Structure 1
Amino acid sequence: MARLSVEDLVVAYGSVKAVRNISFTVEDGEFVSLLGPSGCGKTTTLRCIAGLEGSTAGTIRIGDEVVAADGREVPPEKRGINMVFQSYAVWPHMTVFENVAYGLRTRREPAATVEAKVREALRIVGLEGYAARYGTELSGGQQQRVALARAIITSPRLLLFDEPLSNLDAGLRDRMRFELVELQRRLGQTSLYVTHDQSEAMLMSDRIILMKDGEMIQSGSPRDLYDRPATRFAAEFIGNANILNGMIARSEGQGGAIVALAGGVTIEGRFSWTEQERVSGPVLVCIRAESIQRVADGESGANCFDAEVTSTNFLGAIVTSAIRIGDVGLRAEFAARRPPSVGETIRVRIEPDAVILITEH
Structure 2
Amino acid sequence: MAKLRVEDLIVAYGAVIAVSDISFTVEDGEFVSLLGPSGCGKTTTLRCIAGLEGSSGGTIRLGDAIMAADGSDVPPDKRGINMVFQSYAVWPHMSVFENVAYGLRIRRESAADVERKVKEALKLVGLDGFAGRYGTELSGGQQQRVALARAVVTSPRLLLFDEPLSNLDAGLRDRMRFELVELQRRLGQTSLYVTHDQSEAMLMSDRIILMKDGRIVQSGTPRDLYERPMSRFAAEFIGNANIVDATVIRTSGDGSALVGLPGNVAIEGHFCRTDGSRRSGPVLACIRAESISRVSGDEAGSNCFDARVDSLGFLGPLVTCTLRLGEVTLRAELPARKPPSIGETIRVRIEPDDVIIISEH
Task: Name the TM-score, length of structure 1 as normaliser.
Answer: 0.99
Q: Partner residue of 1:207?
A: 207
Q: Partner residue of 2:97?
A: 97
Q: Partner residue of 1:295?
A: 295
Residues 47 and 254 (structure 1), Cα distance of their counterparts in 2 relative to 1, 3 Å cut = same
Q: Partner residue of 2:165?
A: 165
Distance in 1 of aligned mates of 2:130 and 2:197? 30
Three-state SS of the structure 1 residue aligned to 2:252 is strand
Q: Partner residue of 1:187?
A: 187
| TM-aligned CA deviation for residue 72 of structure 1 | 1.4
| TM-aligned CA deviation for residue 113 of structure 1 | 1.2
Cα deviation code 1:201-260 (max 9, x no counterpart): 000000000000000000000000000000000000000000000110111330011001
Structure 2 residues without counterparts, runs of 5 or longer: none
Q: Partner residue of 2:314?
A: 314
Q: Does 1:73 align with 2:83?
A: no
Three-state SS of the structure 2 residue aligned to 1:290 is helix
1:263–1:327 contact (8 Å) kept in structure 2: yes
Distance in 2 of aligned mates of 1:323 and 1:276? 34
Three-state SS of the structure 2 residue aligned to 1:253 is coil
| TM-aligned CA deviation for residue 278 of structure 1 | 4.3
Alignment of 1:216-235 (within 5 A): 216-235=216-235
Alignment of 1:260-339 (within 5 A): 260-276=260-276, 278-339=278-339
Cα deviation code 1:81-123 (max 9, x no counterpart): 0000000000000000010011111111111111111111111
CA RMSD of aligned residues (A): 0.8
1:32–1:205 contact (8 Å) kept in structure 2: yes
User: Which AA in structure 2 matches 1:309?
Assistant: V
Q: Percent identity?
A: 77
Residues 142 and 54 (structure 1), Cα distance of their counterparts in 2 relative to 1, 3 Å cut = same
Distance in 1 of aligned mates of 2:237 and 2:343? 30
Q: Partner residue of 2:355?
A: 355
User: Which AA in structure 2 matches 1:31?
Assistant: F
Runs of 4+ aligned structure 1 residues displaced above 3 Å come to 276-279
Q: Partner residue of 1:126?
A: 126
Q: Partner residue of 1:14?
A: 14
2:54–2:73 contact (8 Å) kept in structure 1: yes
Distance in 2 of aligned mates of 1:98 and 1:62? 29
Distance in 2 of aligned mates of 1:55 and 1:278? 37
1:18–1:214 contact (8 Å) kept in structure 2: yes
| TM-aligned CA deviation for residue 296 of structure 1 | 1.4
Q: Does 1:83 align with 2:83?
A: yes
Q: Partner residue of 1:56?
A: 56
User: Which AA in structure 2 matches 1:346?
Assistant: I
Distance in 2 of aligned mates of 1:144 and 1:176? 9
Q: Partner residue of 1:142?
A: 142
Cα deviation code 1:130-155 (max 9, x no counterpart): 11000000000000000000000000
Structure 1 residues without counterparts, runs of 5 or longer: none
1:310–1:321 contact (8 Å) kept in structure 2: yes
Size of the aligned set, in residue pairs, is: 361
Three-state SS of the structure 1 residue aligned to 2:93 is coil
